[in-house]
């Protein structure tokens, strides 16, 4: 038999005392499709806000096969040894928890999953990318309230998710592999340019020459892009997560980034900009939700879309017609 | 004394008969801030739709100083000699017609401005980028109804405008200059990757060596990006618009692009996708307009934005509070 739901106060106290169990339950509320659970989740979040914002938030991406799990496990273990508290979140709009991704996440990061100062949470399931991203951002805040001082947000590196993630993290790390000149294959336009660091993974003994070559190529490519607003010049490093090579240097660079941006004010101004961005995203999401869920719109939209595609009605007239249906 | 407004029928007939004067007046309706004029403009547009879609639409961008005006004037003259009818539109959200940009446009493209088969229209003024882009897209349709078979849409190449332009043109041309390894300076992230062609302008006698070098560098850079959905491999050319060098070859490549994409179906499917994209843009625009123009929102938004930036309320709570104000 299911136990009764905790009170708002019990949730907030539990999270602030660092209980991972209660944190998990609160995140489940945030992710719920039931509106009364979501509302409770929002109330809990509001009460936790005073304990948020103090972590460093790092986005990590790369194509499947680049070794993200091993990388996060290796780097994460090192951070835990240094006394950090680490939360690892994932954004994958295509994921479905029923396919066993909870088990999957525990299997692919066994050391982190078992460690008392780490918290691994798989991607929220279902819904649009916007919805998945919103839930992840709220989860970041809850994790911070629970005392996690380092947050990793992992994405798959093949789509739009990275842009959403960039708007919720302070630092964006792109993992790459050394290849034969085609390093960018599979990396969507624009992802490379938003990276604050490129790390070429699997640069072990037999790969080191190719990796160094790739490193030089990426350096050249990055040098062609305009300077980052943060004042930071994205470095290109090589590492081997499996053999634990290069991770110290990599983390030093990340710490340098945070020193620089906290000193020059970019860290703070970027966080403020992100918060206002998310408010506007939330407004748009909710407006669109109401529009596209409206029964008149659901009925007429496919008909008008067809007419627009064949050119028998202009895009603008179709939009106006739909807006009228929405308001009546 | 101002003459009485023409009827919807007079406008439509005038446009379809190819009158540039009536075309100009109809575009002014589209761009008007007065809602009754805009509505008439929309009605005219609806009646013109059966004559639209038959042109080729080409976006042209590059940083200030790259020689866009001279390029468009030179290439345009050549197209007019071949019997084409050319309309040149501009998107520049920062432009203000009162600063004399009509005169400016006539001065910077004197031959096109004077030619009976060409039509040069400066950027719509005022409003957001979204609004400016919408007006330009509607202007494309009106120009097509007036018989123009080739449309150039020019942007400045330093911002978000290019993404909007890409969604209204079939082909996207990026003009560049040869430099000393810093060719991408000033070109925003992502613009290079959306180009269907890069042309290095000002490649005349004394610049030819540098230009060829730059050409090779751009070729290398482009080869790193994933293949275009169109099946087209963006070429990198050199030209001198001022000395009319390389423009024939350039136009041949553009014609090749249109042969390819009309044959493989991309041209048609892309146009359909663009139309539906614009319908959705129009829906979002109109929804947001209504929201942000609401008196309650105008009053409360700045207050909540401040609270969100300082972290005293979550982005999501602020958005929900505003939505409630909007609905009551």
Average pLDDT, chain A: 87
List the Cα angle B69/B71/B77 in 5-degree steps. Answer: 100
Beta-bridge partners for B199: B175, B237
* Residue B161 near residue B153, CB atoms below 8 Å: no
Residues in chain B: 328
What are B245's two structure tokens? 């060098």
What are B164's two structure tokens? 């909007």
Which candidate from B185, B275, B304 shows the least CB-CB separation from A309?
B275
Closest Cα partner for B161 from B119, B127, B200, B112? B127
Residue B184, pLDDT score: 47
Which candidate from B52, B226, B308 shows the least CB-CB separation from A185?
B226
SS3 B299: helix
CA-based torsion, A92, A165, A137, A66: positive or negative: positive
Beta-bridge partners for B152: B58, B88
B264: left (phi over 0), alpha (psi -120 to 50) or beta: alpha
Residue B94, pLDDT score: 67
Closest Cα partner for A223 from A214, A232, A234? A234
Q: What is the pTM of this model?
A: 0.65
| Min distance A109 CA to chain B CA atoms (Å) | 31
Rg (CA), chain B: 22
Residue of chain A whose Cα is closest to the Cα of B42 = A317
Supply the DSSP symbol for A57: E
Q: Residue B293 CB: number of other CB atoms within 10 A?
A: 9
Q: For residue B293, give every residue at least 6 positions away whose Cβ sits within 8 Å of its Cβ, in sequence order, or none.
A: none
Instruction: For chain A, 328 residues long, give each residue's pLDDT as a single digit of tens.
Output: 455 688 999 999 999 999 999 999 999 999 998 888 988 999 999 999 999 999 999 999 987 778 899 999 999 999 999 999 999 998 876 655 444 344 455 577 889 999 999 999 988 876 777 778 889 999 999 999 999 999 999 987 655 677 788 899 999 999 988 763 444 445 554 678 889 999 999 998 888 888 998 899 888 888 877 888 999 999 999 999 999 999 999 999 999 999 999 999 999 999 999 999 999 988 988 888 889 889 999 999 999 999 999 888 888 889 989 999 987 7
Residues in chain A: 328
Residue of chain A whose Cα is closest to the Cα of B52 = A311
| Torsion from C-alpha of B75, B78, B80, B86, nearest 10 degrees | -10
Residue of chain A whose Cα is closest to the Cα of B223 = A182
Rounded to whole angstroms, the Cα distance separating A276 from B312 reads 12
CA-based torsion, B153, B157, B158, B162: positive or negative: positive
Beta-bridge partners for A89: A121, A153
Rounded to whole angstroms, the Cα distance separating A214 from A222 reads 12
CA-to-CA dists, residue B192 to B157, B179, B188, B196, B223, angstroms: 10, 16, 8, 9, 12
Rg (CA), chain A: 22
Q: First and final CA of chain B: distance in angstroms?
A: 45
Q: Is the ipTM of this complex over 0.90?
A: no
Residue A253, pLDDT score: 98
Write out chain A residues lying below 8 Å of B137, CB-based: 315
Q: Which residue blocks in chain B are alpha helix, DSSP H?
A: 8-16, 20-31, 35-48, 68-81, 101-108, 110-114, 129-145, 161-166, 191-194, 208-223, 247-263, 266-292, 295-310, 315-327
Rounded to whole angstroms, the Cα distance separating A176 from A219 reads 13
Beta-bridge partners for B200: B176, B238
Residue A115, pLDDT score: 94
Burial class (CB in 10 A: 0-12, 13-18, 19+), A278: buried
A/B interface, count of CB pairs below 8 Å: 160
CB contact under 8 A, B316 and A282: yes
CB contact under 8 A, B225 and A281: no
Q: Which residue blocks in A169-294 are alpha helix, DSSP H?
A: 191-194, 208-223, 247-263, 266-292
Residues of chain B where predicted confidence (pLDDT) is lower than 70 = 1-4, 93-106, 126, 157-160, 179-190
CB contact under 8 A, A190 and B189: yes
Q: Residue B310 CB: number of other CB atoms within 10 A?
A: 10
Helix (H) / strand (E) containing B238: strand B236-238
* Residue B235 near residue B254, CB atoms below 8 Å: no
Rounded to whole angstroms, the Cα distance separating B113 from B118 reads 7
Rounded to whole angstroms, the Cα distance separating B138 from B133 reads 9
Residue B290, pLDDT score: 84
CB contact under 8 A, B313 and A275: no
List the Cα angle B285/B136/B91 in 5-degree steps. Answer: 100
Residue of chain B whose Cα is closest to the Cα of A291 = B287
SS3 A128: coil
Pick among A196, A198, A319 to test the B interface (most B CBs inside 10 A): A319
Which candidate from A184, A226, A317 shows the least CB-CB separation from B224?
A184
Residue B248 CB-half CA count within 13 A? 4
Rounded to whole angstroms, the Cα distance separating B326 from B328 reads 6
Beta-bridge partners for B175: B199
């Amino acid at each position: 038999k299911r136990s009764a739901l905790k009170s708002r106060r019990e949730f907030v106290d539990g999270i602030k005392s660092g209980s991972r169990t209660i944190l998990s339950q609160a995140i489940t509320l945030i992710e719920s499709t039931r509106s009364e659970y979501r509302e409770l989740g929002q109330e809990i979040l509001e009460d936790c806000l005073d304990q948020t914002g103090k972590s460093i938030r790092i986005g990590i991406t790369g194509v499947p096969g680049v070794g993200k799990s091993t990388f996060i496990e290796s780097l994460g273990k090192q951070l835990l040894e240094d006394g950090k508290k680490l939360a690892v979140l994932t954004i994958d709009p295509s994921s479905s928890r029923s396919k066993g991704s909870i088990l999957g996440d525990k299997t692919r990061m066994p050391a982190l999953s078992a460690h008392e100062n780490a918290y691994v949470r798989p991607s929220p399931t279902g819904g649009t990318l916007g919805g998945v991203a919103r839930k992840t951002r709220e989860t970041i805040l809850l994790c911070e309230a629970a005392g996690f001082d380092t947050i990793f947000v992992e994405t798959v590196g093949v789509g739009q998710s990275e842009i959403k993630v960039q708007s919720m993290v302070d630092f964006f790390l792109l993992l790459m592999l050394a290849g034969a000149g085609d390093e960018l294959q599979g990396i969507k336009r624009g992802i490379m340019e938003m990276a604050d660091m490129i790390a070429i993974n699997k640069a072990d003994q037999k790969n080191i020459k190719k990796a160094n070559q790739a490193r030089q190529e990426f350096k050249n490519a990055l040098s062609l892009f305009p300077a980052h607003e943060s004042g930071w010049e994205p470095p290109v490093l090589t590492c081997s997560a499996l053999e634990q090579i290069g991770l110290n240097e990599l983390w030093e660079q990340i710490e340098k980034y945070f020193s620089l941006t906290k000193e020059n004010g970019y860290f703070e101004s970027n966080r403020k900009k992100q918060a206002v961005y998310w408010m506007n995203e939330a407004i748009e999401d909710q407006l669109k939700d109401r529009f596209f869920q409206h029964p008149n719109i659901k009925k007429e939209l496919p008909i008008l879309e067809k007419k627009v595609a064949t050119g028998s009605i202009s895009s603008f007239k179709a939009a106006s017609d739909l807006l009228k249906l929405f308001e009546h």
